[in-house]
Amino acid sequence: MERLTDKIAALPPDANYFSLEFFPPKTQMGFANIQARLERMAHSLRPLFVTVTWGAGGSTATRSLELAEVCQRQLNLTTCLHLTCTNMSRALVDKALEEAKVLGIRNILALRGDPPRSEEYNMHGEDDSNKEFMYAVDLVKYIRKQHGDYFCVGVAAYPEGHPTDSYQEAQDPMRDLPYLVEKVKAGADFIMTQLTYDLDAYMKFEQLLRNHESGTFKSIPIIPGLMPIHSYKILTRVTKLSHVNIPQPILDSMEHLKYDDDSVKQAGVDIITNIVEGIKKTPSPGPRGFHFYTLNLEKTVSFILENCNLIPPYTEDSDGEDTSAIATSTMDAIPKDGQPRAFTRRRASSINSLPHNRVIVDRAQLHQAGSNESSKDSATHEAPATSAGMPAMPPDRSTTLQISEGLGALGREATWDDFPNGRWGDARSPAFGEIDGYGPSLHVSAAVARKVWGHPVSHEDINTLFRRHVSGELYIVPWSEGGAEEATGGLNPETKVIRPELLKLIDGRGWWTLASQPAVNGVRSDHPIFGWGPQGEGFVFQKPFVEFFCPSKDYKSILKPIFEKYDHEQFAWFAVNESGEFESSLPAQPADADTIEMNPDNVNAVTWGVFRGKEIVTPTIIEEVSFRAWGEEAYRIWDEWRRVFPRGSPTERLLDSTKKDVWLVCVVGQQFGAGTEPESKEEEDETKLLWRVLAGEQ
């Protein structure tokens, strides 16, 4: 029930502290798994507080409040709930604040969200919050008016300047200052900054605030935001979307390592560590804090925190027990007189923790029969009846930290999903499908969207956008992940390999491709186009696949007959429409199925790598749960696109009707040339089968 400013004030003046940000996972499986991750990180790292993100327009409201409840009530973590106020139901603002009170949350990070849409862009009249809230300062004032000092309110600041709503304006921290002064004077208690990788820019910004003539920022906590580097792709994408500069030395070092995620992570730990140590040296009027955007992953941030000595020291209260004192045999749990005694916490933590099945025995009878009846070897496979079924206590804090860092036999609990790859990853991962939990987005402002995509009024206009994109003339379409530079054309090098095949689908069929990859049959990991992972230490493989929107009539008259002719052993496929109808090449999960568990029959690894000294790595999988989750988002992006245009306009009506008609289809070619002679006709026939069939050539 503590306010953040009270917790900060209770620290020694020269203390350092940190906080962690999490977003609500997209799938039920991810939500189940993040609870274990949060519990482990809370135990081993002990952050001063955690924050839970809130999707733009309240898009993640229910899941955000559920995750906040887990943090605050189940794990007793001081929790700060993000809250945006634009383009959403006005009632949702009050509901979120009241729900936060019920949950015992006393900390709110007050944000604007996306630029407020005017009434003519309000599709169904549901976005009435814009009548009262246009900026974050309006939300700060409202919280103070309605709830007094109950909530500790934080606001955002941007060391390199707030990203502008117009593509014509440049970012400038000086232009933002009057608005930040207004937010603090309206009642903000602390400031949390946008992520930064530019130490000089951050230090200059903080000095600017501390020395401001108004004195507004003289003593207020200013907490810099830092994002651990998980991969080159995520780094460049996030910084592009956030309009954040990467200093050239950092960019150069990442460019050199970009195909090997493990090396990128290791270098990233050093980069963030250096930034933290640099900020520590900056004078502060009180305890110095750091906020880490975790992306719902734990290994990298755990290493950074340990490197920077930010993890609070072990105390009796923090359960810093010496694991070496734990006996390796459970036999000692029962005294030789045969009478059970109460288990201490230390002893209980080892019971039933061995990674093998054991025989339940009665220790008293075993002792009476003589010690020779049970050898030392067999003893390790026995468990006393008094402990049978007793759950193991959590490991001590030192062991938990090692798990979070991916060390030891249990380290896989922290690293099994440590290959961040957005929606193509494992749907069981808390990090699946997102880079920030912000929700469906065009990744560009409305002004940029209209400039780049124009005002389509026919299907041919939409077709032209996709043709231009695949041809390299248009760097982004509404479903692009974002982060591409305009001058690059927006296509991956491997996509260019199958450009002719994609253009046949667009021009010949009128199907709009969103994602794809060619077949790859065991090329070296340092291949200039397809290589990834440890360079020169393995081989990578790919099944061909393509994902696209197609008209309902084409799905029924063209695709369904193709799928009937080619069975699952040749083509695996998934399809969904706007109303939620789902079909696939394998039976779907029943409506009453437990969605916490993945349907193993519908899992398809489409990219994998075999490397020296490693388990097989599968960064790209396509399966039912992840496809369904992406389908929901893909159709919501149609809505985001049409909201760029006035209600009832020809473009808005076209996009709405198109969304209701098309099917989203993903087709995976199961053959990728395995066992064929390289560059032979047999290999070509296998690797090209998918494209020839879909184009109507075979």
For residues 666 and 545, the answer to whether their CB atoms sit within 8 Å is: yes
pLDDT at 344 exceeding the cut of 50: no
Average pLDDT, integer, range 623-627? 87
pLDDT at 237 exceeding the cut of 60: yes
Residue 405 annotated as catalytic:
no
The DSSP letter of residue 421 is -
Beta strands 603-611 and 617-623 are antiparallel
Give per-residue pLDDT as tens, 39-59: 989 988 999 999 999 887 777
287 vs 396: which has the higher pLDDT: 287
Q: What pLDDT shows up at residue 526?
A: 92
Instruction: At 634, give phi and psi (nearest 5°).
Output: -60, -40
Helices (H), 331-458: 345-348, 363-369, 376-379, 397-404, 412-415, 446-453
The CA distances from residue 215 to 152, 185, 211, 357, in Å, are: 20, 11, 7, 66
pLDDT at 353 exceeding the cut of 90: no
Query: Could you write out the DSSP letters of every residue in 15-57?
Result: -EEEEEEE---SSHHHHHHHHHHHHHHHHHH--SEEEE---GG
Give per-residue pLDDT as tens, 177-232: 999 999 999 999 999 999 999 999 999 999 999 999 999 999 999 999 999 998 88
Beta strands 107-110 and 288-293 are unpaired
**Of the ranges 165-169, 444-448, 545-549, the best mean pLDDT one:** 545-549
Could you state, in order of their start, the residue ranges of all structural domains in the chain? 4-307, 325-387, 440-591+601-694
80 vs 344: which has the higher pLDDT: 80
Q: How far apart are CA 662 and CA 664, in angstroms?
A: 7
Helix axes 232-242, 248-257, angle to 10 degrees: 150
The DSSP letter of residue 285 is S
pLDDT at 489 exceeding the cut of 70: no
Q: What is the mean pLDDT of the chain?
A: 82
pLDDT at 75 exceeding the cut of 60: yes
Residue the block writes with tokens 């006005």: 90
Q: What pLDDT shows up at residue 183?
A: 96
- Four-CA torsion 256, 259, 262, 268, nearest 10 degrees: 40
Q: Which residues contact 123 (CB under 8 A, 6 or more apart)?
A: 639, 642, 643, 647, 652
Selected catalytic residue, list 21, 405, 547, 624: 21
Task: State the pLDDT confidence band at 384, using cuts at 50, 70 and 90.
Answer: low
Q: What pLDDT shows up at residue 348?
A: 28
Average pLDDT, integer, range 678-697? 92
CATH code of the domain occupying 4-307: 3.20.20.220
The CA distances from residue 515 to 466, 571, 685, in Å, are: 12, 16, 22
Task: State the pLDDT confidence band at 621, using cuts at 50, 70 and 90.
Answer: confident
Out of 81-90, 109-118, 188-197, 311-320, pick the least confident. 311-320
Q: What pLDDT shows up at residue 678?
A: 85
Average pLDDT, integer, range 499-524? 95
